Structure 1
C-alpha cells in the first residue's frame, strides 16, 4: 500500500508536468505559425528546449523529494495512508470546492475558446473569398491570402492567451501572475496587429493601384497616375516605418520603467510625414509645371526647346525650396529654433563664397547661357576652350552648374558652365550639310555638277529636313589623282549629320550609275 501511495504521488507530479509541457507546446506552435515571429523561429525553439529542460529538472527534483520524504516517514514507522489522509483533511473544504469550480470554469472557458476559433476561421475564410472578388480585383491574391492567414494566427493566439488569463483567475492564481499575463497579452496584440497592418496596407494599395490603372484615361485626373506611380514603394516604406514607430511607442508605454521614452514616438512620426509630404509635393508641383509648359500642342521647335531647357532648372529650384522648408519644419518639431542656425549658415555662406569662386562662376555663366539664349535643350553644339579638348553633341540638360551634352557616339559629356568657352551652335535657323566628293581628273565636271544637283533636287523632295537643294560650291582642292568637289545642302538645325550620311550613299549610287569612276574614298569635312 505504501508503494502504491508513493507511485500515485509521483504519477500526479508527472501528469502535471506533461500537462504543462503540452500547454507550452500549443503556445509555441501558435507563435511559430504566426509570420510575425516566424523569422525568430530558431530562437523560439531554443527557448522552448530550455523551458522543457527546466521543467524536467523540476519534475525530477520533486519526484526525488517525494520519494525521500515518504522513505523518511516509513523509516520513522508512520502509516503513509493515514498520514496522507490526515494531510488532505487539514486542507479546508472550501479550497476543494473553489478548485473544483475553477477547474470547471477553466474547462468551459477553453471549450468556448475552441468554439469561438471555429467561427472566427469560418468568417475569415468567407471574408478572404469576398475580398478577392471585390470589383473583380486584378491585384495579386497572394497578398490578400497572407493578410488573412496572419490575421487568423493572431486571433488564435490572442484567444488562447485570453483563455489562459481567465483560467488563472478562476484557479485563484496570485494576482501578480494575472497582471503579467495581461501585459504579455497587450504587448503581443500590439506587436502582432502592428506588424499585420503593413500587410493590409500592401493589399489595399495593390488593389487601388490595379483599379487606378484600369480606370485611367486621358479625360480624367487618373491620367497623371502613371507618372506618380513610382512613389508607391516610397509610400509603403514610410507607412511601415510609421507603424513600427507606433508599435514600439505603445509597447514602451506598457512598461512603466521606460514609459517616458515613448514621447519621442509622435515626433518621429511627424518627421516621417514631413519627408513624405515634401517628396509628394515636389513631384506633384513638378508634374503641374510640365503640364502647364507643354499643354499647348502647337509649339514650334524653338518654343519646345526653350521649355525643355526651363524644366530641369525649375525642378532643381523646386527641389531645393521644398527640402529647405522640410528641414526647417523638422527643426521646429525637434524644438530647435532654426533662426540662429540660418543666421550662422548665412555668415558661413559668405565666408565660403569667397573661396568658392568656381562654383559662383559656374552659376553666373549658367544664367548668362539661359538669358542670352546661347543654346537650348535639343541643340547640337560644339563647346570648349581652344587649348582643351572640345566637346560636341546634343544638349540634354542645362543646369545651374553644368551642361549635359550627349555625343553622337552615345557618351554623356558633363561640362561646367564656367568652362564652356567658345560655343558653336549648329541648331540656329539652319545649317549646311557639307559633303566633299572626289572625282577623277578626266571627269566631265559639267555632267558631274548636273548629277549632284539632280540628286539634291530629289533629296529635297523626299526629305522634309532639307530646306534647299544641294549646290556644288566648286572645286575644293586638287589631289594627286583626283579633284575634290565641295557640296552644300541647306538643312534644318541639327539635321546635318543625318543628311550628310544620306548624301554619301546617294552620291555613290548616282556616280556608279553614271559610270563615273569613284576614287578609293569619299572625303567629308565634319562640322
Structure 2
C-alpha cells in the first residue's frame, strides 16, 4: 500500500509538471503571435528555459518524495499516516482562508476575462466615431494607431491590476506586492506616455491638414509649408520629453538608481533647446528671404547677387545658432564654458595645421563671393586642367563648397579650394560656336549664303541672340570634309541653347536647298534632246 501511494505521488508530480509546462507553452505561443511578434525568438528561448527549470524541479521533487517515502517504509512507518499528520498540523483556518483567496482570485480573473471583450469592442466603436467625426482623412491612420495602442494598454493594464489584487488575496510577501506595483506603475506610465504621443500625433496631423486646407498667399499660413519638415522633429522632441518624464516617475521608486532623476529637467531642456534651434533657423531664413529677395525694383544682377549671398548667410546662421545652443547646454549641465572658449583658440591653432584644406576652402569661398568670380545662376566651367573639368549652372555657393548642376542633370559639388581656373559664360555675353560641314551636293558659296540667311533669321526670331551669326572661315580643308566655323554672340549662359537651335535651322535649310538642287538637275535632264 505504501509503495502504491509513493507511485501515485510521483505520478501526480509528473502530471502537474506536464500540465504546467503545457500552460506555459500555450501562453508563450499566444504572446509570440500577438503582442510580442518582434521578439518571437526571445520568447522561444524563455519557453525552452522554463521547460528545463520545470523538468529539473520535477526530477528533484520526484527524488525527494521517493527518498522520504523509502525512509518511512524502511523504518516500518505508514506513509499515509505521516502525510495525514503533516496536513493535520496545519491550522484549519489556513485552508479556509486559502480557499476563500482562491475563490476570489478565480472570480476576479473570470470577471476580467468576460468583461474585457466588451471594453475592447467599445473602444473599436469609439475609434470609428472619432474617424467619422470630421471631414479630414489625413489623421485617420493616427486615430487608428491611437485606439489600437489604447486597447493594448487597457487589456494589459487590467490583467496586471488583477494580478496585484490576486497577490493581495493570497497574502504574498509585501516585497512582491511592492515590485508588482512598481511594475504596474512603470507599465501604465510608459503606456500613458505612448498614448499621449499618439494623441499628439493625431492633433498635429489634424492641424497639418487644416493648415494646408486654409493656407493661401494672403494669410500667414502661407509660411506653413516651410515648417512642415519640422513636424517629424516636433513629434520626436515631444516623444523624448515624455520618455524622460516617464523614466523619472518609474526610477524614483527604485532606491538604488533614484539619483538619476535629478538630471531629468536638464535633459528635457536640452531636447527642447534642440528643437527651438531648428525653429529659430527656419524663421530666420524666412525673414532673410523676405527682406532680401522681395524688395521691389531689383535688377536681374542684384537679384542674382542676393541669391548668391543668401545661402552663405543661412550657413553661417545655422552654425552660429547651434554653437550658441551648445554653450547653453554646457551651462545647463553645470559646466562653465569660459575656460573651454579660452582654450579653443589654442586648440583651434593646433587643429588649423591639421585642417589646412578646410581653412583653404573657406578662404577661397570668401574670395569667390567678394571678388564676384561667379554668382548663382551663372554657367561656368571650373577645375584644374590636369583633373576633371566641372561644367554647369551654379546652384549654390557655400562656405566650403560650390554646387554646380550639369546640363545632363547631375549635381556636382566641388570644394572651393579645388575650384581651379574658372570659365564664366555668364559675363556680358558668350559665343555660340557651331562647326558646319559642307554636304555633298552643295557648293561652298551656297553654304555661306545659307549660313548668313539663317543667322539673320535666328537673330530676328530669338531674343537671346545679340548679333547675327558670323562666318570665321574653313576649319577643316580635307578633300572630302570641308568644315566651316561659325560664331554667334548671345546672352550670358545661352550659348548651348543657341547652338542647338542654330544646328536645327541649318539642317532644315540644307535639306531644303538639296531638294531644290535635285529638282533642278532632274528638270535639266528632262529638257535635254537625245538627238
Give the TM-score, by structure 1 length: 0.78
CA distance, structure 2, for counterparts of residue 392 and residue 108 of structure 1: 81
* Equivalent residue runs for 1:269-418 within 5 Å: 269-295=268-294, 300-350=299-349, 362-382=361-381, 392-408=391-407, 417=416
Q: State the Cα distance separating 1:486 from its structure 2 match.
A: 6.2
CA distance, structure 2, for counterparts of residue 419 and residue 75 of structure 1: 98
**Quick check: 1:33–1:153 contact (8 Å CA) kept in 2?**
no
CA distance, structure 2, for counterparts of residue 492 and residue 268 of structure 1: 58
CA distance, structure 2, for counterparts of residue 309 and residue 401 of structure 1: 14
**Quick check: 2:427–2:492 contact (8 Å CA) kept in 1?**
yes
**Quick check: 2:473–2:484 contact (8 Å CA) kept in 1?**
yes
The SS at the match of 1:135 is coil
Judged with a 3 Å threshold, the aligned counterparts in structure 2 of structure 1 residues 57 and 146 are, in CA distance, closer, same or farther, namely farther
Q: State the Cα distance separating 1:412 from its structure 2 match.
A: 5.2
CA distance, structure 2, for counterparts of residue 158 and residue 256 of structure 1: 24
With 60-69 and 366-375 compared, the bigger mean Cα shift is at: 60-69
CA distance, structure 2, for counterparts of residue 335 and residue 257 of structure 1: 24
CA distance, structure 1, for counterparts of residue 34 and residue 253 of structure 2: 22
| Alignment correspondent of 1:521 | none
**Quick check: 1:34–1:153 contact (8 Å CA) kept in 2?**
no
Aligned residue pairs total 514
Q: State the Cα distance separating 1:175 from its structure 2 match.
A: 2.4
Alpha-carbon RMSD across the aligned residues, in angstroms, is 4.4
Q: State the Cα distance separating 1:427 from its structure 2 match.
A: 1.9
* Equivalent residue runs for 1:199-238 within 5 Å: 205=204, 208-238=207-237
Q: State the Cα distance separating 1:313 from its structure 2 match.
A: 0.8
The SS at the match of 2:252 is helix
CA distance, structure 2, for counterparts of residue 39 and residue 211 of structure 1: 36
Q: State the Cα distance separating 1:249 from its structure 2 match.
A: 4.7
> What are the ranges of 5 or more consecutive residues in structure 2 without an aligned counterpart?
518-531
| Alignment deviations for residues 268-310 of structure 1 (CA, whole Å, 9 cap, x no partner) | 4433333333234323432443344443687553233223212
CA distance, structure 2, for counterparts of residue 12 and residue 352 of structure 1: 77
CA distance, structure 2, for counterparts of residue 423 and residue 50 of structure 1: 71
Judged with a 3 Å threshold, the aligned counterparts in structure 2 of structure 1 residues 476 and 21 are, in CA distance, closer, same or farther, namely closer
| Alignment correspondent of 1:106 | 105
| Alignment deviations for residues 382-437 of structure 1 (CA, whole Å, 9 cap, x no partner) | 45678988655422222234434445465655555466566553323433434465
CA distance, structure 2, for counterparts of residue 252 and residue 190 of structure 1: 11
**Quick check: 1:402–1:414 contact (8 Å CA) kept in 2?**
yes
The SS at the match of 1:395 is strand
Give the TM-score, by structure 2 length: 0.77
CA distance, structure 1, for counterparts of residue 476 and residue 24 of structure 2: 102
| Alignment correspondent of 2:117 | 118
CA distance, structure 1, for counterparts of residue 382 and residue 304 of structure 2: 18
CA distance, structure 1, for counterparts of residue 126 and residue 71 of structure 2: 64
| Alignment correspondent of 2:520 | none
Q: State the Cα distance separating 1:319 from its structure 2 match.
A: 1.8
The SS at the match of 2:464 is coil
Q: State the Cα distance separating 1:42 from its structure 2 match.
A: 2.7
With 44-53 and 11-20 compared, the bigger mean Cα shift is at: 11-20
Q: State the Cα distance separating 1:166 from its structure 2 match.
A: 1.6
Judged with a 3 Å threshold, the aligned counterparts in structure 2 of structure 1 residues 505 and 266 are, in CA distance, closer, same or farther, namely same
Judged with a 3 Å threshold, the aligned counterparts in structure 2 of structure 1 residues 149 and 16 are, in CA distance, closer, same or farther, namely farther
**Quick check: 1:253–1:259 contact (8 Å CA) kept in 2?**
yes
Q: State the Cα distance separating 1:69 from its structure 2 match.
A: 4.7
The SS at the match of 1:378 is coil
**Quick check: 1:31–1:157 contact (8 Å CA) kept in 2?**
no
With 179-188 and 236-245 compared, the bigger mean Cα shift is at: 236-245
CA distance, structure 2, for counterparts of residue 25 and residue 118 of structure 1: 24
CA distance, structure 2, for counterparts of residue 475 and residue 65 of structure 1: 114
The SS at the match of 1:315 is helix
CA distance, structure 1, for counterparts of residue 462 and residue 502 of structure 2: 11
**Quick check: 1:27–1:157 contact (8 Å CA) kept in 2?**
no
Judged with a 3 Å threshold, the aligned counterparts in structure 2 of structure 1 residues 60 and 461 are, in CA distance, closer, same or farther, namely same
Q: Which has the higher contact order (CA 8 A, sep 6+)?
A: 1
CA distance, structure 2, for counterparts of residue 341 and residue 196 of structure 1: 42
CA distance, structure 1, for counterparts of residue 249 and residue 152 of structure 2: 21
Does residue 463 (structure 1) correspond to residue 480 (structure 2)? The answer is: no
| Alignment correspondent of 2:527 | none
The SS at the match of 1:270 is helix
**Quick check: 1:34–1:150 contact (8 Å CA) kept in 2?**
no
| Alignment deviations for residues 78-135 of structure 1 (CA, whole Å, 9 cap, x no partner) | 6677666655554434334433432333233223333442342122222222233342
Q: State the Cα distance separating 1:44 from its structure 2 match.
A: 2.8
Judged with a 3 Å threshold, the aligned counterparts in structure 2 of structure 1 residues 393 and 157 are, in CA distance, closer, same or farther, namely closer
With 61-70 and 95-104 compared, the bigger mean Cα shift is at: 61-70
Q: State the Cα distance separating 1:465 from its structure 2 match.
A: 2.0
* Equivalent residue runs for 1:420-435 within 5 Å: 423-435=422-434
| Alignment correspondent of 1:172 | 171
The SS at the match of 1:182 is helix
**Quick check: 2:438–2:444 contact (8 Å CA) kept in 1?**
no
The SS at the match of 1:172 is coil
The SS at the match of 2:134 is helix
| Alignment correspondent of 1:46 | 45
CA distance, structure 2, for counterparts of residue 10 and residue 317 of structure 1: 81
| Alignment correspondent of 1:181 | 180
The SS at the match of 2:120 is helix
CA distance, structure 2, for counterparts of residue 334 and residue 300 of structure 1: 51
Judged with a 3 Å threshold, the aligned counterparts in structure 2 of structure 1 residues 478 and 226 are, in CA distance, closer, same or farther, namely closer
**Quick check: 1:34–1:154 contact (8 Å CA) kept in 2?**
no
